Chains A and B, each alone.
Chain A
Amino acid sequence: MTMFHFFNCAILTFGPHAVYYSATPLSEYDTLGTSVKAALVYLGTALVKLVCLATFLKVSENDGFDPYQELLKAVIGFIDVAGLYFALTQLTHRNISQNHKFQAVGLGWAFADSVLHRLAPLWVGARGLEFTWDFILQGLEANANLVLSISLAALGSLMWLRKNKPKTLIPIIYACAGIVATMPSITSYLRQGLGWHFPKVVGFELFTSLSMAFISWQLFSACQRPSS
């Protein structure tokens, strides 16, 4: 029964990535290599981030919200954006369209994040006898994270890869990318600074990820129009 629960939570956490890959044209153009490369870049980025966090951050004795530390954490969080930039621009991909490239990179990015952050707790926790809602919520969080990663990758590809985009949209694109990139810090603030409970935080994440995805989709299609 507990193995059953682990199985359920694993489906919720990793299923959407697989569904996304097989349902969209990504599978038809065989972009798996790009995703894997993006995942490897994510691992490297995570390592660099870890080193930075260990170097610059103090271990706080209390669980309170320290604005200075959190600011530092947010700045370090932008290493993610640098990693994503590297994945989008520097990696030599096979000749795939920009459209598919950012999706593949975002997917690989989100999947690596899920494996790195959620698989171990899931394996340890969800197989135990004790029932908690935590792992189901964690699975939902993984879904939100997938949507956010793809949105961020889409915005990144707009920023760095597309040359002829409408001038008026550029500040909006940068603002949106900034918001999406600082999402981890925002949720951390909600959890620790405002003392929100886990379900509420996950609900917020789901809502914002969906709305950010909608906005970036609109931006993307707006940029697509003049070129076509």
Chain B
Amino acid sequence: MANSKKLGGLREMLESMYSVIALLFILVACVELCDAAAAVDVYRLIQYDMSGSPFGSRFAALNHHAASLHFPPGVDLSRTVLIIPLRELNITFVREYINQKKPLGGLLVLLPEVLSFKTGGNKQVHEKEKMKNLLAELERLLVHSNIPYPVYFAFENDEIDTVLADIKKNDLMGQPATATTGGYKFVIPTAEPKKVASPTMTNIQGWLSGLKTDGDANQLPTIAIVASYDTFGAAPALSVGSDSNGSGIVALLEIARLFSLLYSNPKTRGRYNLLFGLTSGGPYNYNGTQKWLRSFDQRLRESIDYAICLNSIGSWDNELWIHVSKPPENAYIKQIFEGLSNVAEELDLKVGLKHKKINISNPRVAWEHEQFSRLRVTAATLSELSVTPELLESTGGLFDTRQYVNETAIVRGVKLVAESLARHIYGHQGKNIQIFADESSLAVNPAYIRSWLDVLSQTPRVAPFLSKDDPFVMALKKELAGHVDEVNVQHETLEGIFTFYDSTSSRLNIYQVASVTFDLLLLLVLGSYLIVLFSFLVITTRGLDDLISLFRRPPSRKLKTA
């Protein structure tokens, strides 16, 4: 009885011990902090499938040693992260590596700090054009190839520069990583990227209704001003697209503001409705614009007199292009073009006309106005780009940052569009009247443009990674609602050939590590230290004979037992 009680008590005690041990393990797990030499924010190359074929960086997790470009020739890099600063980047080298599918543990491209919207600020970029071209070329290469290892971008800072200098030094000496010479291990603990389930696109539509006189039975004509707001770039978390199409959004908001001032007074309220559209899905053949237009009812669509799409108007010098898909002889096109070019002449600008026929059988939609043209609505795109961009190009890449955008260009673009619109609405065609003259109450507000441009230049806007009620989308809606009578938000799913994968940014931990050989050597030294200590203690306390007899004892004992 007493025995069983004792046993029960023992069991209880053991059980309580188990819980204590479990708690201990939980504590130990919590304590698993990372105390890395440095931790850097990194942005992963986009990973997507187009019609089922894989593109971009196919992996996210990283746990490899680092090497610089100075690695000794003939070294196996399949378990090594290559770290390349942009200023040392040799595009032919990277192209060769990717095209020949050479094994690599990972690739980390260091972008200059000035491009970072967090720390770069408004610093000036040196060798602007050279860097832009290099980045564009790198982006084109990376976005259109299937890369079977993680590719990350990071911004240079002091921490990573010292690490890089150390790695370079070791590589030049041709030494393997050891504790004393500083081997570095790059670790990004991320789960495998998952598909973005049913990515949404959000179109925002603002309506500014014109003055309807009682005798007017017909519906008022409508003019649409449209800009696509989302971006696509090599690194989705860095794709801020200041020019493409941040400049278009800013211009649209400013035009909405100017006309809301005019339309708030019944005397200056025009006899045209104004429709403002901020559309999503721009990089994917203007998928969002298409859905938005399809959602219109027939009467509204027919009432649209013409649509002006704003695309990349933030970094031009003196010439803008009007892209149309109807021949220039068309009366409506002529009207739009003349309206704009008359104002342009007064503003000392040049406006050119580019005509590109649409091919209905080709799924590629290069310009936003082509979606309108496909539904037989007269439309034109105003852009600084003279050549038609390819798919997934000029949609807000790595270089498309605040530094490359010129505010005054946007101010002039806004003036051009607003002035020509106003002349059309109030019937002042061909007359030299400045409605939005500088210094007047209707002048274009550069501060407003600048502040919005700054906000947009800090907001990555890749549509699949923007949720339905993303703060940015809500902010845009709120801003537009402040200028127009009525705002509608339309959610659509991004259908079609694209599939996207998440984990666009994470944190890179850089550890200084010792090699296994070092630890083996250390074990050897410690072992001999303990043996020497043991022998010393035995000799001093018991004498040398004892030490010798220690080694003799086992056989004698065996003899005894036998």
Residues of A bordering B, CB below 8 Å: 1, 4-5, 7-8, 11-12, 15-16, 19-20, 22-25, 123-125, 128-133, 136
Chain B 521-543, CB-CB to A under 8 Å as 1, else 0, gives: 01100110110011101100110
Residues of B within 8 A of A7 (CB): 523
Task: From A22, A23, A130, A133, name the one whose CB has the most chain B CB atoms within 10 angstroms.
Answer: A23
- Given the complex of chains A and B, what is the CA–CA distance between A7 and B542 in angstroms? 30
Q: Which residue of B lies closest to A7 (CB)?
A: B523
* A130 and B513 within 8 A (CB): yes
Known: A11-B526, A12-B526, A125-B35. A1 touches B519 (CB 8 A): yes
CB distance from B257 to the nearest CB of A (A): 52
* B519 and A23 within 8 A (CB): no
* B526 and A129 within 8 A (CB): no
Q: Which of B509, B522, B530 contacts A136 (CB 8 A)?
A: B522
What 6 A-B pairs have minimum CB-CB distances, sorted nearest first? A23-B537, A129-B511, A131-B514, A130-B511, A23-B534, A4-B519
Known: A130-B37, A130-B512. A16 touches B31 (CB 8 A): no
* A22 and B28 within 8 A (CB): no
* A128 and B523 within 8 A (CB): no
Residues of B bordering A, CB below 8 Å: 28, 31-37, 179, 185, 187, 509, 511-514, 516, 519, 522-523, 526-527, 529-530, 533-535, 537-538, 541-542
- Given the complex of chains A and B, what is the CA–CA distance between A16 and B526 in angstroms? 10
Task: From B37, B509, B519, name the one whose CB has the most chain A CB atoms within 10 angstroms.
Answer: B519
* A129 and B513 within 8 A (CB): yes
- Given the complex of chains A and B, what is the CA–CA distance between A7 and B512 in angstroms? 19
Q: Which residue of B lies closest to A124 (CB)?
A: B31
Q: Which residue of B lies closest to A123 (CB)?
A: B28
Further contacts, 5 of them, CB under 8 A, given A23-B535, A124-B33, A130-B35: A5-B522, A8-B519, A8-B526, A19-B530, A132-B512
Q: Which of A11, A128, A133, A136 contacts B35 (CB 8 A)?
A: A128
Q: Which residue of B lies closest to A139 (CB)?
A: B526
* B522 and A131 within 8 A (CB): no
10 contacts between A and B (CB under 8 A): A4-B516, A4-B523, A8-B523, A15-B530, A19-B534, A23-B535, A123-B31, A128-B34, A130-B36, A130-B512
Task: From A7, A20, A125, A130, name the one whose CB has the most chain B CB atoms within 10 angstroms.
Answer: A130
Residues of B within 8 A of A15 (CB): 526, 530
- Given the complex of chains A and B, what is the CA–CA distance between A16 and B511 in angstroms? 30
- Given the complex of chains A and B, what is the CA–CA distance between A117 and B153 in angstroms? 42
* B519 and A5 within 8 A (CB): yes
- Given the complex of chains A and B, what is the CA–CA distance between A128 and B28 in angstroms? 13
CB distance from B205 to the nearest CB of A (A): 52
Q: Which residue of B lies closest to A131 (CB)?
A: B514
- Given the complex of chains A and B, what is the CA–CA distance between A23 and B534 in angstroms? 6
Known: A11-B526, A124-B31. A5 touches B514 (CB 8 A): yes
CB distance from B66 to the nearest CB of A (A): 13
CB distance from A125 to the nearest CB of B (A): 7
* B538 and A23 within 8 A (CB): yes
CB distance from A12 to the nearest CB of B (A): 5
* A23 and B541 within 8 A (CB): yes
- Given the complex of chains A and B, what is the CA–CA distance between A123 and B527 in angstroms? 21
* A19 and B37 within 8 A (CB): no
- Given the complex of chains A and B, what is the CA–CA distance between A24 and B541 in angstroms? 6
Known: A20-B537, A24-B541. A11 touches B530 (CB 8 A): yes
Residues of A within 8 A of B511 (CB): 128-131
Residues of A within 8 A of B534 (CB): 19, 22-23
Residues of B within 8 A of A136 (CB): 522
Residues of A within 8 A of B541 (CB): 23-25
* B537 and A24 within 8 A (CB): yes
Q: Which residue of A lies closest to B187 (CB)?
A: A129
CB distance from A133 to the nearest CB of B (A): 8
* A19 and B537 within 8 A (CB): yes
Residues of B within 8 A of A11 (CB): 523, 526-527, 530
Task: From A19, A25, A133, name the one whose CB has the most chain B CB atoms within 10 angstroms.
Answer: A19
- Given the complex of chains A and B, what is the CA–CA distance between A22 and B530 in angstroms? 12
Residues of A within 8 A of B530 (CB): 11, 15-16, 19
CB distance from A15 to the nearest CB of B (A): 5
Residues of A within 8 A of B32 (CB): 124
* A131 and B179 within 8 A (CB): yes
Residues of B within 8 A of A8 (CB): 519, 522-523, 526
Q: Which residue of A lies closest to B33 (CB)?
A: A124
* A16 and B513 within 8 A (CB): no
Known: A15-B526, A129-B187, A136-B522. A23 touches B35 (CB 8 A): no
- Given the complex of chains A and B, what is the CA–CA distance between A7 and B527 in angstroms? 12
Residues of A within 8 A of B526 (CB): 8, 11-12, 15
CB distance from A104 to the nearest CB of B (A): 13
- Given the complex of chains A and B, what is the CA–CA distance between A112 and B33 in angstroms? 26
- Given the complex of chains A and B, what is the CA–CA distance between A129 and B519 in angstroms? 13
Q: Which residue of A lies closest to B550 (CB)?
A: A23
Q: Which residue of B lies closest to A5 (CB)?
A: B519
- Given the complex of chains A and B, what is the CA–CA distance between A25 and B540 in angstroms? 11
- Given the complex of chains A and B, what is the CA–CA distance between A130 and B182 in angstroms? 11
* B185 and A129 within 8 A (CB): yes
